Amino acid sequence: MSSMSRPDGRAADELRAISITPGYLDHAEGSALIVQGSTRVLCAASIEDRIPGWLRGQQSGWVTAEYAMLPRATHTRTARARAQGRDVGRSQEIQRLIGRSLRAVTDLGALGERSITVDCDVIQADGGTRTAAITGAYVALYQALRWAQRAATEAGEEDPFPEFPLREAVAAVSVGIVTGASENRMLLDLCYEEDSEAGADFNIVATESGRLVEVQGTAEGSTYTRNQLDAVLDLAMQGIAELISAQKTAIAALA
Amino acid sequence: MSSMSRPDGRAADELRAISITPGYLDHAEGSALIVQGSTRVLCAASIEDRIPGWLRGQQSGWVTAEYAMLPRATHTRTARARAQGRDVGRSQEIQRLIGRSLRAVTDLGALGERSITVDCDVIQADGGTRTAAITGAYVALYQALRWAQRAATEAGEEDPFPEFPLREAVAAVSVGIVTGASENRMLLDLCYEEDSEAGADFNIVATESGRLVEVQGTAEGSTYTRNQLDAVLDLAMQGIAELISAQKTAIAALA
Amino acid sequence: MSSMSRPDGRAADELRAISITPGYLDHAEGSALIVQGSTRVLCAASIEDRIPGWLRGQQSGWVTAEYAMLPRATHTRTARARAQGRDVGRSQEIQRLIGRSLRAVTDLGALGERSITVDCDVIQADGGTRTAAITGAYVALYQALRWAQRAATEAGEEDPFPEFPLREAVAAVSVGIVTGASENRMLLDLCYEEDSEAGADFNIVATESGRLVEVQGTAEGSTYTRNQLDAVLDLAMQGIAELISAQKTAIAALA
Amino acid sequence: MSSMSRPDGRAADELRAISITPGYLDHAEGSALIVQGSTRVLCAASIEDRIPGWLRGQQSGWVTAEYAMLPRATHTRTARARAQGRDVGRSQEIQRLIGRSLRAVTDLGALGERSITVDCDVIQADGGTRTAAITGAYVALYQALRWAQRAATEAGEEDPFPEFPLREAVAAVSVGIVTGASENRMLLDLCYEEDSEAGADFNIVATESGRLVEVQGTAEGSTYTRNQLDAVLDLAMQGIAELISAQKTAIAALA
Amino acid sequence: MSSMSRPDGRAADELRAISITPGYLDHAEGSALIVQGSTRVLCAASIEDRIPGWLRGQQSGWVTAEYAMLPRATHTRTARARAQGRDVGRSQEIQRLIGRSLRAVTDLGALGERSITVDCDVIQADGGTRTAAITGAYVALYQALRWAQRAATEAGEEDPFPEFPLREAVAAVSVGIVTGASENRMLLDLCYEEDSEAGADFNIVATESGRLVEVQGTAEGSTYTRNQLDAVLDLAMQGIAELISAQKTAIAALA
Amino acid sequence: MSSMSRPDGRAADELRAISITPGYLDHAEGSALIVQGSTRVLCAASIEDRIPGWLRGQQSGWVTAEYAMLPRATHTRTARARAQGRDVGRSQEIQRLIGRSLRAVTDLGALGERSITVDCDVIQADGGTRTAAITGAYVALYQALRWAQRAATEAGEEDPFPEFPLREAVAAVSVGIVTGASENRMLLDLCYEEDSEAGADFNIVATESGRLVEVQGTAEGSTYTRNQLDAVLDLAMQGIAELISAQKTAIAALA
């Protein structure tokens, strides 16, 4: 990769083209297909009227996520067996991240004794699947909660939520530091080719009001400075603002 | 369900609306998204230049399939864990059926020492996922073989196949016998609601030239006569002819 | 194999020698050792006074089956580990077939809230193990139900079944189409050597009254016509009649 | 159980009726069905011309065993799943015991680079299945080695063994100490009912020449003295002599 | 190994240096680190106020054990995966032995409806890990029961045990018969190097009053006489007396 | 917890008492027991002269880690089964973090074709086990590399490393933001009680020269600002400097 340009011609601080299709599935209470460049993730939110045992009696609900990849989401086929072996740790790490990100903006008390599971299945992978999953999962979760309200209204029951349980939007983006011959470059929203060349990559999750939910800055065979971390965060916050705007457009289309 | 009409208003011998999108995925050598009513299956064909150990030295290739369902393909969520437990037998039975169906029309010798795996992942399930998978998998397989030819041409190599390895098209459809108050009805291409009410259901796989590849006629708590089996086959062959026509349209769009 | 004769000298429409020993086991409520040529399957029926959760409150019982092979049932040893890996799909497919076949002739309502599991363990395999398992399992099931009646009588309780829950006998047989130099031959009750040479093989399950329960016609790398399917069914129905006669002799020996 | 008599009327130092059918299976190189009272174990010996990796280059063969129970070998059905869970330790412990017992009388060097696996599958269990398995496995192993010699002769090859690899016979029996109201009784060859009442039970493996291969004396919630251990061994050695005599009769029937 | 001396210079009837540190862990109700030569086993006893389902209503408690090895307890690293595969049988066999040994000296009725699990994790292995685990587990179990009494006193409740549930101490040791050029030698408390050279090895579990709980005498490719067994038991009983003395010192340090 | 004081009386910016015992194990090439407050982690480094397949031919070595907890490391016992189920994702996430941290300071080229696995087993857990594991693993890794050099010297071979493969030290620490009534407090090196009350917790890995290797800032049901992140990093860098000083003392004791 030339140090001058990105594989798809984007500027260093430019997101990939993004599209969010809410209500992509017929059966799920909430769903969204998020396409970010060549990355496509299908998010499906399922509501159940029961909670995990350890929450019982606490007047609180729960939001969790699952993450997986279809075998041919990747450039070469990934055997399904790997998902139950070597890659299970990666998947669990990612799904815990998605779950935490959603819970950070959810008023679990307002949910009542309900559990919501958001399945994030990667249809096609080209970098940034976990961050796209978070951004899409928020839309699926939003739709599922609206569905519950509408279903109650149609059944002549009262609104299941004293207050709408989502406090604000949450979205995520990646940033990478690519070490070049003459300079290090910070790139927003890495595609696969960039991700595999980055000496350090960062996944940042933040809310509409600009607060941080998660910062994961990972160097592989490399290190980075505190000044670089600051620059990374600047870039990420700008990308997240754009992603939240795309979420709002998708949600508006639902009504 | 009234004995008079089908849930979606179709005639007894009418297929659901069908759409096949070839080349749905960027990375796979061949792919197709098949939508049949509310059922949606994503088929992805992967070519590898190696063969299973037991085929070595036989100048022959191999075609196989894998089948799985996304958790929220179903009306209520199916835990991923089930796919590794109770449902593993169902999945393996289906993927062996898909593999046999594809091999019935493939000249394995003409393939050379190549393996093709067709992943069939159910995005949304409303009955007939295994038959839709066969119909879609044929298109993905076709595209993958064409891809191998084009890739060879572009690399200045000779055509990898002495003869195009697919002898004719293959497709599949379900038929059910629903026991009503006054009469038994034969229904083509069952949706989920019909499938769960049928006393006997049949999956038929056949080729363009009208030869049978597989007949599976399964009664649950019931039985059927040889005359009924004949009527079922008549209905199936008519449906399969229509499905093969849809495959041809999709393949034509590839060129 | 010469196109003129079968390995064991049988006529094309001749069953292998069959023997059914009912009550083979001391502990099981019902059992039968079925020997069909060199194939030997031990069937054991176990009654439990409980039903699966999804049947609760429906005033109905359940009949299910399990199928497995001993490691040295085959010509070369099959590692036990395979039974939990690659072969698990084959076993589950077979045991679901056995279960459906038994339920097709059972009045589940008359069973009351009881579950019967029929274990079919292959002691020696020489083709046709799944069809022999069905034929033997019916005898084991019959004995188990008679045992329950006798046990109630001896305990001074009333007959557990308002009506004997088996409506009629069920049995199964295989047929193969072997493609020869000059002609295709239809062979009844394939042994292992014939089975591995057949281009298409069929497992047919039918009842005493000649109704079909299951038709599975599977071609591998081949296809067949509807006329051939008809001829296969003729041959199968004749074989099944003979097998049901052997079941009746075995059951008569129980009394 | 009265302190005076055994459930089946045997004397305290009396074995159960024993029968050994050599060559019970068609495919296995060696096999034996051993029936000891109501306990029935099918032993099948398989020869392979390869050895475990860690033996390579040592001019030595290997003998090992596997042990399992059919689901309805027991009074109430044992789910197959248990065999892969809680009971796996018990099975592995038993199969290691069987393997050691056979190797104690085998000249592994004389075997050459061959592996023999003896599968011991319990058809019906009424106590003493592991000891019956050892006694039967010896006969199956003996037949397999004779088979290898005959196969070589028939192929015009030389005898595969410089010396017949079995040095002497090996057999096994159980003894129990049952704690009664007025006295403790030593019982030879426990059936299931006795086994579950014994405060301590012993499995003794010994050779034809009276040497010990294994002594396992296990108390559960109880203890025993060295004098009791001596009396147990006296009883066991007498039983083993009788079992070895039954092995010799079975082997003589093979020739 | 010379037939004259042991690798660490011990006499044939000499135990390795032993040290037992009770209360090694902060969180466990009872614990002990036992060091015997280079072998180190950490034993942790956990009390729970519930019992296995099959004990319910019997006014009785339960004591069980688990046994495992850290990956680098051994000379070369043992992959963790092996512990779930090939070695699971060995671990289960050992943990059942530890459990039986503890139950032999425990009055389960006096325990009340409590379960105690003693985890025995091998930090470093140099032979005799199972016998060291039994010896250490007794100390951990003792401390846990004292802890329960003290906790009750501090809470102003009555003593949980009508009678202290441990009747007497239990400990274990290994003995081996090493076959030398000119003579066979009996060695007490084998280290790893000796264990791998012994033709027969014995694990003996006995109580303070000299009663036997378990005798396991295992020959590998070898046999032994009854006279040798007697000599082995003499040696073992002497070693166990010394080990029980070390247990008493450790327990005294707890008070 | 009062907002004024920490459970163990430390100042907000004070590490727990730390002790590192290098060479804790006899068999491992490198090892260290690290005790940080009540947290104890045993780190063992194993060197093998082979590399993963994907590194072959690249003149490079590899460093990886495994992480696990003993069942009674925790306040209440954690079943071993959980480590293979629900917790496997957590363990894999942690061991990948440890591996990346070590590789960040290792010159993999200088290692040559060698793999080093560092097993980090938690003997007792009181918060901060992953950060303690990193700090201890560095010492074990250092000792293993020195061992390889000494072993070569003793064998009269040349130094295996052209250059000592560790470029500088690496260590890790946690920081938490605890939300109090009147103020939010930043606490260095959280114990378990503090960790479970923190609204956001951070694991920071850095090198001796003050460069960052990993920043993980995780909010659960909460969020944090960029200013807070800065303050967290200040505190962490101070703690890491102290930990690296403790590593140096431990390494000096090795020589």
Tens-digit pLDDT profile for residues C52-105: 888 888 889 999 999 999 999 999 999 886 655 567 788 889 999 999 999 999
Torsion of CA C91, C87, D53, D118, to 10 degrees: 20
Asked whether the predicted pLDDT for residue A113 surpasses 50, the reply is yes
Residues 6+ apart with CB under 8 A from E40: E33, E34, E122, E123, E124
Q: How many CA atoms lie within 13 A of C238 on its CB side?
A: 14
Residue of D81, E84, D71 lying closest to C84 (CA atoms): D81
Q: Could you say which of D95, D207, D219 has the minimum Cβ distance to residue E214?
A: D219
Least confident of B218-222, E166-170, F80-84: F80-84
Asked whether the predicted pLDDT for residue A174 surpasses 90, the reply is yes
Task: Using only the alpha carbons of chain A, give its radius of gyration.
Answer: 19
pLDDT at res. D84: 57
The label of the residue with tokens 């102290």 reads F242
User: What are φ and ψ of residue C29, in 5° steps?
Assistant: -65, -35
Asked whether the predicted pLDDT for residue F85 surpasses 90, the reply is no
pLDDT at res. F55: 86
| Nearest CA distance, D46 vs chain C (angstrom) | 7
Q: How many CA atoms lie within 13 A of F118 on its CB side?
A: 37
ipTM: 0.92
CB of C31 within 8 Å of a chain D CB? The answer is yes
Asked whether the predicted pLDDT for residue A50 surpasses 70, the reply is yes
CB of D199 within 8 Å of a chain E CB? The answer is no
Q: Could you say which of D77, D119, D124 has the minimum Cβ distance to residue C72?
A: D119
Residue D5, number of CB atoms within 10 A of its CB: 11
The Cα B218–Cα B214 span in angstroms is: 13
Q: Output the average pLDDT for chain E.
A: 93
pLDDT at res. B82: 63
DSSP reduced 3-state for B16: coil
Tens-digit pLDDT profile for residues F14-55: 999 999 999 999 999 999 999 999 999 999 999 999 888 888
CB of C167 within 8 Å of a chain B CB? The answer is no
The Cα D255–Cα F36 span in angstroms is: 73
Asked whether the predicted pLDDT for residue B83 surpasses 70, the reply is no
Q: Could you say which of F66, F70, F119 has the minimum Cβ distance to residue E121?
A: F70
For chain B, the chains sharing at least 3 beta-carbon pairs closer than 8 angstroms are A, C
pLDDT at res. F4: 57
Asked whether the predicted pLDDT for residue C11 surpasses 50, the reply is yes
Instruction: Tell me what the mean pLDDT of segment B188-211 comes to.
Output: 95
Alpha-helical segments (H) within C85-217: 88-104, 108-111, 129-154, 192-197
Sheet of strand F62-69, all strands in order from the earlier edge strand to the far edge:
F18-22, F30-36, F39-48, F115-124, F62-69
Residues 6+ apart with CB under 8 A from B52: B62, B115
pLDDT at res. C72: 96
The label of the residue with tokens 């209905």 reads B235
The DSSP annotation for chain E comes to --SS--TT---TT-PPPEEEEET--SSSSEEEEEEETTEEEEEEEEEES---GGGTTSS--EEEEEEEE-GGGSSSPPPHHHHHTTTHHHHHHHHHHHHHHHHHTB-HHHH-S-EEEEEEEEEE-SS-HHHHHHHHHHHHHHHHHHHHHHHHHHTTPPPS-SS-SB-S-EEEEEEEEEE-SS-EEEEES--HHHHHH-SEEEEEEEETTS-EEEEEEEESS--B-HHHHHHHHHHHHHHHHHHHHHHHHHHHHH-
Q: How many CA atoms lie within 13 A of B228 on its CB side?
A: 27
CB of B216 within 8 Å of a chain C CB? The answer is yes
Sheet of strand D39-48, all strands in order from the earlier edge strand to the far edge:
D18-22, D30-36, D39-48, D115-124, D62-69
Contacts A80 to B, Cβ<8 Å: 66, 68
pLDDT at res. E88: 76
Alpha-helical segments (H) within C50-87: 80-84
pLDDT at res. E179: 79
The Cα A43–Cα A31 span in angstroms is: 5
Asked if C219 and B92 come within 8 Å (Cβ–Cβ), the reply is no
For chain D, the chains sharing at least 3 beta-carbon pairs closer than 8 angstroms are C, E
Question: Which residues sit opposite E218 in a β-bridge?
Answer: D214, E201
Tens-digit pLDDT profile for residues A216-255: 999 988 899 999 999 999 999 999 999 999 999 999 998 6
Instruction: Tell me what the mean pLDDT of segment C10-15 comes to.
Output: 96
CB of C47 within 8 Å of a chain B CB? The answer is no
**What percent of chain A is predicted at pLDDT more than 90?**
81
Instruction: List C-alpha distances in Å: D116 to B248, D166, F134.
Output: 56, 13, 48
Sheet of strand C170-179, all strands in order from the earlier edge strand to the far edge:
B184-188, B170-179, B200-207, B212-219, C212-219, C200-207, C170-179, C184-188
Q: Token pair of A58, please? A: 């606490």
pLDDT at res. E181: 66
Asked if A104 and F222 come within 8 Å (Cβ–Cβ), the reply is yes
Asked whether the predicted pLDDT for residue B254 surpasses 90, the reply is no
Asked if A214 and F211 come within 8 Å (Cβ–Cβ), the reply is no
pLDDT at res. E166: 97
Q: Token pair of E80, please? A: 């963790």
Residue pair E116/E141 in contact by the 8 Å Cβ criterion: yes
Task: Using only the alpha carbons of chain E, give its radius of gyration.
Answer: 19
Residue pair B21/B32 in contact by the 8 Å Cβ criterion: yes
Instruction: Tell me what the mean pLDDT of segment D12-16 comes to.
Output: 97
CB of B88 within 8 Å of a chain C CB? The answer is yes
- Termini Cα distance of chain C: 44
Residue pair A27/B39 in contact by the 8 Å Cβ criterion: no
Contacts D26 to C, Cβ<8 Å: 38, 124, 126
Asked whether the predicted pLDDT for residue C4 surpasses 60, the reply is no
- Termini Cα distance of chain F: 44
Instruction: Tell me what the mean pLDDT of segment D104-130 comes to.
Output: 96
Whether A and B touch, i.e. at least 3 CB pairs below 8 A, reads as yes
The label of the residue with tokens 């940042």 reads A204
Whether F and C touch, i.e. at least 3 CB pairs below 8 A, reads as no
**What percent of chain C is predicted at pLDDT more than 90?**
81
Residue D75, number of CB atoms within 10 A of its CB: 12
Tens-digit pLDDT profile for residues B129-184: 999 999 999 999 999 999 999 999 999 999 999 899 999 999 999 999 987 766 77
Residue E155, number of CB atoms within 10 A of its CB: 8
Residue of F240, F142, F140 lying closest to F188 (CA atoms): F240
Nearest chain D residue (CA) to E201: D214
Q: How confident is the model at residue B222 (pLDDT cuts 50, 70, 90)?
A: confident
Q: Report the range out of B64-68, B90-94, E159-163 with the highest average pLDDT.
A: B64-68
CB pairs under 8 A between A and B: 70
Asked whether the predicted pLDDT for residue F173 surpasses 80, the reply is yes
Asked whether the predicted pLDDT for residue F2 surpasses 60, the reply is no
Residue pair E174/E133 in contact by the 8 Å Cβ criterion: no
pLDDT at res. C2: 45
Residue of F75, F138, F156 lying closest to F101 (CA atoms): F138
The DSSP annotation for D1-50 comes to --SS--TT---TT-PPPEEEEET--SSSSEEEEEEETTEEEEEEEEEES-
Q: How confident is the model at residue B4 (pLDDT cuts 50, 70, 90)?
A: low
Helix (H) or strand (E) holding A69: strand A62-69
pLDDT at res. B1: 43
Alpha-helical segments (H) within chain D: 80-84, 88-104, 108-111, 129-154, 192-197, 226-254
Asked whether the predicted pLDDT for residue A159 surpasses 60, the reply is yes
Q: How confident is the model at residue F191 (pLDDT cuts 50, 70, 90)?
A: very high
Residue of F34, F15, F16, F14 lying closest to F24 (CA atoms): F34
Residue of D134, D78, D144 lying closest to D105 (CA atoms): D134
Residue of D130, D113, D112 lying closest to D121 (CA atoms): D130
Q: Are strands E115-124 and E184-188 parallel, antiparallel or unpaired?
A: unpaired
Whether C and D touch, i.e. at least 3 CB pairs below 8 A, reads as yes
Residue of D159, D85, D94, D181 lying closest to D131 (CA atoms): D94
Instruction: List C-alpha distances in Å: E153 to B229, E114, E160, E254.
Output: 79, 18, 9, 17
Residues 6+ apart with CB under 8 A from C74: C125, D27
Tens-digit pLDDT profile for residues D32-91: 999 999 999 999 999 999 888 888 888 899 999 999 999 999 999 998 866 555 577 888
pLDDT at res. B109: 94
Q: Are strands D30-36 and D39-48 parallel, antiparallel or unpaired?
A: antiparallel
Helix (H) or strand (E) holding F155: none
Least confident of A23-27, B52-56, D7-11: B52-56
The Cα F165–Cα A8 span in angstroms is: 38
Contacts E44 to F, Cβ<8 Å: 70-72, 77
Q: Which comes out higher in pLDDT, residue E1 or D233?
A: D233
Question: Which residues sit opposite B48 in a β-bridge?
Answer: B115
Least confident of A197-211, D137-151, D181-195: D181-195
The Cα F217–Cα F194 span in angstroms is: 16
DSSP reduced 3-state for F135: helix
pLDDT at res. E90: 87
Q: Output the average pLDDT for chain F.
A: 93
pLDDT at res. A182: 66
Helix (H) or strand (E) holding F43: strand F39-48
| Nearest CA distance, C79 vs chain B (angstrom) | 17
The Cα D255–Cα D247 span in angstroms is: 13
**What percent of chain C is predicted at pLDDT more than 70?**
95
Q: Which comes out higher in pLDDT, residue E80 or E238?
A: E238
Instruction: Tell me what the mean pLDDT of segment F145-165 comes to.
Output: 95
Asked if D212 and E217 come within 8 Å (Cβ–Cβ), the reply is yes
Contacts B42 to A, Cβ<8 Å: 70, 123
pLDDT at res. D1: 43
Instruction: Tell me what the mean pLDDT of segment B83-112 comes to.
Output: 88
Residue of E91, E99, E83, E73 lying closest to E172 (CA atoms): E99
CB of C124 within 8 Å of a chain D CB? The answer is yes
